[in-house]
């Protein structure tokens, strides 16, 4: 039940209107505070799109699209609660671009099939929470 990996994809010009490192820190804090996720499994990665055409193609349009990939075994209500917390924290961190009509923000949670997922993560033995 590990692997809470959050990928944050964003449009190239967004760096001028939003603090992407602060967004990542906010997302990490929410995940770290959740009892659902082992500390050792948490990852937050931000990736700037090299090129993006958003909605009607206006140059001032920007986006953030977040995808949280989690291992199987958590119930939907628990995942929804974490998703709600991440989304609210993201809205706070992205308050400036969200105040304009040229921005879109999304979050999706995906559950990974354990039979189709391979890992070799020695960091887990160092950071496992005691039960």
Average of per-residue pLDDT values in the chain: 91
Q: Residue 45: pLDDT above 90? A: yes
Note the pTM of the prediction, 2 decimals.
0.86
Q: Averaged over 34-60, what is the pLDDT?
A: 94
Q: Residue 5: pLDDT above 90? A: yes
Q: How many C-beta atoms lie closer than 10 Å to residue 26's C-beta?
A: 19
Q: Residue 2: pLDDT above 70? A: no
Q: Residue 110: pLDDT above 90? A: yes
pLDDT class of 50 with cuts at 50, 70, 90: very high
pLDDT class of 29 with cuts at 50, 70, 90: very high
Q: Which two tokens stand for residue 128?
A: 């496992």
Q: Residue 64: pLDDT above 90? A: yes
Q: How far is CA 46 from CA 28, 66, 113, 126, in A?
A: 12, 9, 23, 25
- Most distant CA pair in the chain, distance: 51
Q: Residue 129: pLDDT above 60? A: no
């Amino acid at each position: 039940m590990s692997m809470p990996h959050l990928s944050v994809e964003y449009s190239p010009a967004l760096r001028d209107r939003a603090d992407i490192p602060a967004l990542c820190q906010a997302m990490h804090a929410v995940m770290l505070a959740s009892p659902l996720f082992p500390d050792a499994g948490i990852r937050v990665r931000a990736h700037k799109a090299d090129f993006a055409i958003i909605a009607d193609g206006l140059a001032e349009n920007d986006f953030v699209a977040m995808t949280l990939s989690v291992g199987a075994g958590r119930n939907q209500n628990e995942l929804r609660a974490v998703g709600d917390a991440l989304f609210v924290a993201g809205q706070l961190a992205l308050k400036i671009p969200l105040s304009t009509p040229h921005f879109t923000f999304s979050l999706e949670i995906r559950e990974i099939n354990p039979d189709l997922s391979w890992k070799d993560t020695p960091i887990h033995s160092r950071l496992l929470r005691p039960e």
